[in-house]
Chains A and B, each alone.
Chain A
């Protein structure tokens, strides 16, 4: 939480994320208790595990602009959650220093029943801002979203595109130390996208450290200088953006 930017960092060493998959059978107390009493029926009582990430070793410092590439299910989103501290590694270590602003899902923390203005404040609080900070930014956000009087209406009356505008407006107004972006920034009209690109790059410039998962080369080139290629939950390659993109494309072709 220090102002000293040199303290902003993410370090992981051999970090693994294993998900236990409790199906309906093993997720109940009855099964565990009976399993204990009845002795081992090994294959039956053991919880299947999905190894979502394996041996992730990273050292990201202030100023890092990292793109994440990889196929669906390669572990990009899970890696972002590991880096944000949502998942603490099941084995290995991970240490996050700095205020994290994770932008994985634009809609999370939004309440359809309250007005757009209230949602701006709440969403900001969720991203680690204070109420005062958000109130001073409301005008700026309102301008950006071009929603006008609609901001006084409950969120449920908004179209999908309008919600994205609001969410983007809030997200791009904050001052994060660590910014973690998962793509899914679609569903907005082209003119608005141009406008949000500019704000997005300003946001990236303000933030100390960026990790950005995307399938869009164009976006990656705009925001990042290095990249990590994820495959089967492991880091396949970590280096200069162009090198990684070329290798990734080459592999796909």
Chain B
């Protein structure tokens, strides 16, 4: 705020200031993110432990079901489904909550002059906390079904960093667009449900690609066009100690750069309009 010439409302400076200024209010969104989690389970005896429990129940039930249906070993199917679900919970949370992030915070936006990014950081932080709770289930799973984890599995950490970075731009971009066009919120949310089935979470990608039936193998390859496959694989492969493929990282990195460029442009152009639109 020391500029001599006031930068225009639609300057890059202001867009970047929004992101930096929001980061500076870590105490606020950090606290709010925690409060959101505790809030959801307030007055229940177990509290946020329910996050882990419901994840465990879902993964075990579906693991048993699909191991039976596909004729897979439970020790393969269950870890696959569990890790898939944990990562999916983060991805889908960022997308579907992102599609109403500013609409849901209308009161705060109209009453307090805070950077828009505060709401985005709060959202990603909240999803990260959910992810952390779910990792407890993952740790238990590692005891029951040990995986071949090596030092290479540590790539899961930068992979999650990339997931957060992408969650932030997706939420910010969707937040801006859906505030202006309200129909996009339900559209996005049903799209997320659809994507769940299009992404290999309950069905094992490798099994289908290597299927003796060439027609099925051919069709399964189409999933490479689903960007969420790559986001899932960069973290699932190391977490399960599977072989890691460079192409997934490249796709994710390209999407990260392109996505942020697009989002920064939208932020520069429409940042000041959001408080008028909510």
Q: Which residues of chain A have a CB within 8 Å of any CB of chain B?
A: 1-2, 19-20, 22, 27-30, 32, 81, 84-90, 93, 95-97, 100, 102, 104-105, 108-109, 111, 113-114, 118, 121-122, 125-126, 130-131
Contact = CB atoms under 8 A, between A and B. Distances in A.
B13 interface: no
A2 B183 contact: no
30 contacts: A27-B180, A27-B182, A28-B182, A29-B181, A29-B184, A32-B181, A81-B110, A84-B113, A85-B113, A86-B110, A86-B111, A86-B112, A86-B275, A87-B276, A89-B9, A97-B1, A100-B113, A102-B113, A105-B107, A105-B111, A108-B112, A109-B108, A109-B111, A113-B39, A114-B35, A121-B31, A122-B35, A125-B28, A126-B112, A126-B114
A193 B183 CA distance: 46
Contacts of A125: 25, 27-28, 31
A84 B112 CA distance: 8
A19 B277 CA distance: 8
B213 interface: no
Nearest to A103: B111
B152 interface: no
Contacts of B2: 2
Interface residues of B, number: 29
B41 to A, nearest CB: 11
B8 to A, nearest CB: 9
A68 to B, nearest CB: 17
B42 interface: yes
Given A27-B180, A126-B108, 9 more contacts: A29-B184, A86-B112, A86-B275, A89-B9, A97-B1, A108-B107, A109-B111, A111-B39, A131-B27
B272 interface: yes
Most buried by A among B9, B113, B181: B113
A108 B181 contact: no
B35 A111 contact: yes
A81 B109 CA distance: 11
A114 B275 CA distance: 27
Contacts of A122: 31-32, 35
A29 B112 CA distance: 29
Nearest to B39: A113
A126 B108 CA distance: 9
Nearest to A17: B276
A20 B32 contact: no
Contacts of A93: 6
Interface string B32-49: 100100010010000000
B79 to A, nearest CB: 36
Nearest to B6: A95
Contacts of A22: 180, 277
Contacts of B277: 20, 22
Contacts of A118: 35
Given A88-B272, A122-B32, A125-B31, A109 B112 contact: yes
B275 A102 contact: no
Nearest to A33: B181
B6 A131 contact: no
Q: Which 5 residue pairs spanning A and B have beta carbons closest together?
A: A88-B272, A85-B113, A108-B111, A28-B183, A29-B181
Given A28-B182, A131-B27, A1 B112 contact: no
Contacts of A29: 181, 183-184
A186 to B, nearest CB: 18
B66 to A, nearest CB: 37
Contacts of A95: 6
A30 B186 CA distance: 14
